[in-house]
Amino acid sequence: MHRAIPKALAALPAALLAAHALAATYPAWQADTYYTAGTIVSYNGGDYKATVNQTDYSSTGWNPTTASLWTYLGVDSGSTPTPTPAPTATPAPTATPKPTATPAPTATPTPAATATPKPTVTPTPAATATPSPTATPKPTTTPVPTSTPTPTTAPTATPAPTATPTPSGSGCLTSWNSGTAYSGGAQVSYNGRNYQAKWWTQGNQPDTNAGSGLPWTDLGSCSGTVATPTPVPGTTATPTPGATPTPSPTPLPIISGGSVPGWPAFVAQGAIGGPNNTTPTASSTGGNDDFGGRPVDVVFKYAGVNGNGDPGVIDPPSNAYRMTRDLTALSAINNHPMRVAIVEYTAQMSGGQNVDDFTNAPAGASSAMATASYIMGRHFSTLAADALMLRYRPVTYNGNSYYGSLLMNPDLLGAIQQNSYISMVNSALPAGAVNTAVAQAMCLMTTSRSYTNTGDPNGVGKATYIGKTYTGNPVQILQNMLDDGYPAWSVDGQNDLFWNSNVGNTVGTGSTDSQVGAWFKSCISNPTYDTAAYPTPTFAAGFAGWVEANNWLIRTLAPKNTVTFGWQENMWAIGSGFWLHNTLTDAQIASTFSTPVSNWLKTNAPGTITTGNATSPDFFLFDRYEMDDSAAPGSATLYNARSWDNFLTAVGQVSKANNNIPMMLWQIPGSHLPNTSESNPELFQGTAGSYVFSTAPVYFFGDSNLTSNLSNLIMGTASSSNANSAVGSFQVSCGSAAYNCLSGSANYQQYLLEYAGKSGNYNWSIDNGKLALAASNNVFSILWGGGNTTNVIKNFSNTDDHGWLANKIINYYSKPVSVVLH
């Protein structure tokens, strides 16, 4: 790196200067373009080399003078140089050490998650096919991603005069006022220290909101008379806006290079988790987020408290807030950046036919919950709250921001297509209904208000948050209360005075509204908000318009290149998941599943799969079925390698039919194939001789503890009803409408070895390049586990694999598989 460009150039050997002078002119740098590390461009008369994989988004102001992203090489030979400020030197990247898991004392246990019910799957006959599948491509050597250098101070597009920090010990500036709106560069004092605002802020107490990703910079201690702040050119006082703008955090670089903004350039690995009751450490266990020593790239959790969208409740975004704190700590512990993913239900049909979520009327409109009111408006408010919280609070690691993701409405698309519910759903969403619900949510979530907290849930008598007045939108107020130590358990319960999880957002069993509940009621009768700041389209009647409204809310409150999101679809959407267990050509997979599903989405819900416009989703996701393979063989859960090949081919075909939209595999079962050499196998409910098993991790990673012919697979007493005890001796239900075995009968061991139309033809003990196959089908991430399904760690009611999957992922990170970019 060159700190002082003229001196650095003068010091270069003459031969190097001559070589540079003879070099060809490099292409001009362009904003919003993806550059790989090592790319050289010209900019303002100079040549620059990208130090990391990056996209310099227009909204960030990054360009080649951003020293944390580019290295200055010298004057461009083909143009007259324009003087530019010297970029700040960037420290050399440090290789990330492999974390080592350390045993630890048991942490406070957390409540088990409620499993989300799945629609009943009625097997339907699948066409019997005879051709052999296309050969699986051989794995290719995948380069290990370059270590990400620690960036320097947050970059700016062009240098501008800034306020001079007040020297430590000098006079105190004007005192901070919680009701005053401060624009970027404004200076104040608070509790004997001076602070400078990084961006527009109001109600954020400086001492608890200073630092990376927070709105204030601590300028040092002060004393005595009020000092006159050094003026900031171009900065003027900003009146309190009618609508609360989304604050822009310090523009820390988002080092990615992947197919989804903010995600890695390799196939990411994830897990189910949830807020810890205590801060996770390198060795803590028993908590929902105890991933110390067991790194993953993302941790997902269902929004709210019941895992079904909580109809009739505006859920506080406390999961997003608390998990961000957990994962920021864990990113540093594991030397590995992590992200939060929140599963959103603005409508759900996991339990069967249901249009209550599309109603928006007083209590009595819901057939299932008589007391629930304005369900659609409350759902949209919950979605808006989570989008805002993830926008305000990215995980931070090594000076970079890692924004969260929203996973939209599992099982909804699959259930509507499977059961032909689309006409019923369209009828439930007449013209104007969606816009009314959107207006209610925007009124609640974008209007700045004040709230003086009188709640004392812990009964401590004296605390920072007691008697304090907070200002901002409801999410800003909540995060500031939580920053002050207000107990999150209170807002997750039913009795909190500010915001709670009770139906109607009333306090306890009475009729008194919480503050957020009262504000929402005022928005029901008068849903006004700043439509000049938030110009709102007219959403079409029917399901397609409702989908677009979800997308618009997310993108309006969490713009592109911050929070990402995608919609979920099911392998059983065409009627059953048994089609996967047939020998099919690519053309047969397309005609059986991929084309019908893709066409249905384009016709009835184009907003879920369309890319390229301002409110488009960033990715799409498929789940397998939220349970281990051994849990429900009658529901098509016994996958062999042929089944997974079909799965990946189908995913890739849907992606490629929709502009190569990136694909996430979600809730993939994390258990493995038990073998006789295991000293600590994964047991069903802790019962000896009863095992939990699945094939997905072995399919993707291989397992050298298995023999090539599965001779050491656990072989229990033969059974056609108890897979847990029989394991390899389990009698598979063979047939064209079930598991299409090579012969009329097969046990599970034989079925696992069937591949490409031959018996004994698949080796589970080795890595067969299936992660590379996933990447070639546009898969960018695999999220493991569920509330009842084996996970990377033991949490909830899922079984304990004693670190098997976590160790596989750690080994994978030493040589990860790159995603495919288009």
Taking only the tens place, the pLDDT of each residue in 633-667 is: 999 999 999 999 999 999 999 999 999 999 999 99
In the predicted model, what is the mean pLDDT of residues 520-544?
98
The predicted structure's pLDDT at residue 487: 97
The predicted structure's pLDDT at residue 8: 31
Q: pLDDT tens-digit profile of 257-310?
A: 789 999 999 999 999 999 999 999 999 999 999 999 999 999 999 999 888 899
652 domain residue, yes or no: no
pLDDT band at 131 (very low <50, low <70, confident <90, very high): very low
Domain at 28, CATH number: 2.10.10.20
36 domain residue, yes or no: yes
547 domain residue, yes or no: no
The predicted structure's pLDDT at residue 305: 86
The predicted structure's pLDDT at residue 197: 80
pLDDT band at 785 (very low <50, low <70, confident <90, very high): very high
Q: Which residues of 612-651 are buried (b: 16+ CB within 10 A; e: fewer)?
A: eeebbbbbbbbbbbbbbbbbebebbbbbbbbbbbbbbbbb
d(CA 510, CA 512): 6
- Give 788: exposed, middle or buried? Use CB within 10 Å, 0-12, 13-18, 19+: buried
pLDDT band at 114 (very low <50, low <70, confident <90, very high): very low
Give 249 or 530, the one with higher predicted confidence: 530
For residue 1, pLDDT beyond 50: no
251 domain residue, yes or no: no
For residue 584, pLDDT beyond 70: yes
For residue 9, pLDDT beyond 50: no
Kindly give the residue spans of alpha helices, DSSP state H, lying in 558-656.
586-589, 595-604, 641-656
Residue 304, by phi and psi: left (phi above 0), alpha (psi -120 to 50) or beta? left
Helix, strand, or coil (residue 808): helix
Name the domain count of the chain: 1
- Give 599: exposed, middle or buried? Use CB within 10 Å, 0-12, 13-18, 19+: exposed
Instruction: Fill in the amino acid letter for 438.
Output: V
Query: What angle is formed at CA 420 by the lines to CA 416 and CA 422, rounded to 5 degrees?
Result: 60
Give 130 or 814, the one with higher predicted confidence: 814
CA distances from 298 to 264, 338, 371, 504, 784 (A): 11, 5, 36, 32, 10
Output the furthest CA–CA distance in the chain (Å, rounded): 92
For residue 161, pLDDT beyond 60: no
For residue 127, pLDDT beyond 50: no
61 domain residue, yes or no: yes
Residue 141 DSSP one-character state:
-
In the predicted model, what is the mean pLDDT of residues 109-118?
36
Can you give the residue range of the structural domain that contains 21? 5-75
370 domain residue, yes or no: no
Strands 469-472 and 449-452, bridge-based pairing: antiparallel
In sequence order, what DSSP letters do the residues of 533-565 get, joined into one string?
TS----PPSSHHHHHHHHHHHHHHHS-TTSSEE
For residue 16, pLDDT beyond 50: no
17 domain residue, yes or no: yes
CA distances from 550 to 105, 247, 302, 441, 506 (A): 43, 21, 17, 11, 25
In the predicted model, what is the mean pLDDT of residues 84-98?
35
Residues 686, 804 contacting (CB under 8 angstroms): no
Give 365 or 622, the one with higher predicted confidence: 622
In the predicted model, what is the mean pLDDT of residues 542-558?
99
pTM to 2 decimal places = 0.73
What is the radius of gyration, based on Cα positions, of the chain? Answer: 28
For residue 485, pLDDT beyond 50: yes
pLDDT band at 184 (very low <50, low <70, confident <90, very high): low
In the predicted model, what is the mean pLDDT of residues 317-332?
98
Q: pLDDT tens-digit profile of 18-53?
A: 333 334 478 998 886 767 767 898 888 888 887 655
Residues 581, 643 contacting (CB under 8 angstroms): yes
Helix, strand, or coil (residue 415): helix
Residue 660, by phi and psi: left (phi above 0), alpha (psi -120 to 50) or beta? left
Average predicted confidence (pLDDT) for the chain: 83
First to last CA, the chain: 31
- Which stretches of 191-337 are assigned E, i.e. beta strand? 193-197, 201-202, 216-226, 268-272, 298-302
630 domain residue, yes or no: no
